[in-house]
Amino acid sequence: MAYETLIIEKRGAVGLITLNRPHALNALNSILMHEMEEALARFHEDDAIGAIVLTGSEKAFAAGADIKEMKDLSFTDAYLGDLMAGWDRIAASRKPMIAAVSGFALGGGCELAMMCDFIIAADNAKFGQPEITLGIMPGMGGSQRLTRAVGKSKAMDMALTGRMMDAVEAERAGLVSRIVPVDKLLEEALAAAAKIAGFSRPAVLMTKESVNRALETTLAEGVRFERRLFHALFATEDQKEGMAAFVEKRKPAFRNL
């Protein structure tokens, strides 16, 4: 399938999605949202793909939802059309997703990066929730995911003043997992994704599920959930292989079984 707003590639066991609306700084319009759903569904069906990297251009990961597309909408357009709901399906991706962010990640762009499992930032990255400057507020999860990522004080500061955070501040605050030079961004993100894709897929997916559970439940429930998944992994051949390989001092050959 040909995409209008995305470039889709396979790099070994990694699916690479590049946002491709350069003239609008990768602003997220409805075509892009639908194409992303479609591309992700294909990567999920493809057993050869173990992890996904989402990136933009050097200047912009994404400068937000498309303001030009939204500006004339009425309340009923937004409500009855369930504006932005498709992004929930993207956030529900089961395979690990890494956001490789260079340049602007603003509004919906920051929210999209936060839907991924972790963010690797280039040293020129800028994060922000500037919706307040447009007379609106975050609508793709920013008020929730940013607060969980950086805490109330910084989330309030970002969302109420609309100011941007640079890569150093974002790493210090826990929004991004690592900062790399801009020319190494894709290489580093692809290497991290390839590493994940090389592990046992059941273990990878259960790890992701369990970490995400931490954001949604009590500590006691989360620990119980983790233990059940941990027990379940002893039903996999990959657990036998991984531990046997350690004892035999060789590299494991996981088969996702």
Shortest CB 156 distance to ligand CO8, Å: 17
Shortest CB 94 distance to ligand CO8, Å: 24
User: Binding mask 12-31 vs ligand CO8 (x if CB under 6 A, - otherwise)?
Assistant: ------------xx-x----
Among 116-124, 135-143, 197-205, 206-214, which window interacts with ligand CO8 (CB under 6 A)?
Answer: 135-143
Ramachandran sector of residue 237 (left: φ over 0; alpha: ψ -120 to 50; beta: rest): alpha
**Which contiguous run of DSSP H or E holds residue 121?**
strand 118-122
Distance, in Å, from the CA atom of 224 to the CA atom of 54, rounded to the nearest integer, reads 32
Closest CA to 129 of 116, 117, 149: 149
Shortest CB 70 distance to ligand CO8, Å: 7
Interface pick for ligand CO8 out of 107, 127, 176, 202 (rule CB under 6 A): 107
User: Binding mask 69-88 vs ligand CO8 (x if CB under 6 A, - otherwise)?
Assistant: ---------x----xx----
| DSSP-assigned letter for residue 58 | S
Non-local CB neighbours of 256 within 8 Å, separated by 6+ positions: 47, 200, 201, 202, 238
Among 106-114, 180-188, 202-210, 214-222, which window interacts with ligand CO8 (CB under 6 A)?
Answer: 106-114
Catalytic site residue from 109, 111, 167, 203: 111
Give, as ranges, the residues between 109 and 128 that touch ligand CO8 (CB under 6 A): none
Count residues near ligand CO8 (CB under 6 A): 22
- By the 8 A CB rule, do 194 and 14 touch? yes
Catalytic site residue from 64, 108, 128, 142: 108
Helices 237-247 and 201-213: angle between axes, nearest 10 degrees: 100
Beta strands at 164-166 and 126-128: parallel, antiparallel or unpaired: antiparallel
Q: Which residues bind ligand CO8 (CB under 6 A)?
A: 24-25, 27, 63-68, 78, 83-84, 104, 106-108, 130-131, 134, 138-140
Indicate which residues carry an active-site annotation: 65, 108, 111, 131
